[in-house]
Amino acid sequence: YLGSPILQLRHEQPLPPLVDHSEGENPELEIPLFTLDPRTDGVTIQSLVTGFWPGDPCEFGLVSFHSRGHLVERPTSFGETDHLEALDVQAILASYSWLLAQACYQGTDRFT
């Protein structure tokens, strides 16, 4: 990931859950296997920075805007498809790292 956030909006409340918390207690609930891991592509996590100071009431991420300037310098020979995939990869890695940092601050880490 070569980009950088240019603006992050935070809120006092987390986003609402996608499913009710009681769904997690259902033993028949099927949890999909997550086979994509940034480490398989050589991406390592060097640090976890949540993007806010401890004690700040707005500690939950809402939306993050990122620069795409470094993508302009990619060779045109890569093609349009590769350019769009690079943009998707940037979005996925930026979201993953930001949300992982917030989750760790809230008491969840890479092992739980």
Token pair in block for residue 112: 């739980």
Report how far apart, in Å, the C-alpha atoms of 106 and of each of 8, 9, 33, 59 are. 18, 18, 24, 9
Mean pLDDT, 10 residues at a time, the chain of 112 residues = 77 80 74 70 67 77 85 86 89 84 74 60
Token pair in block for residue 104: 């760790």
The pLDDT assigned to 94 comes to 86
How much is the pTM? 0.58
The domain ranges of the chain are: 1-15+45-112
The pLDDT assigned to 93 comes to 86
| 30 DSSP assignment | P
* Residue type, position 5, single letter: P
Q: What 3-state class would DSSP assign to 46? A: coil
The pLDDT assigned to 109 comes to 61
The pLDDT assigned to 68 comes to 84
Determine the Cα angle at 34 with ends 88 and 20, to 5°. Answer: 100
- Contact by Cβ (8 Å): 23, 29: yes
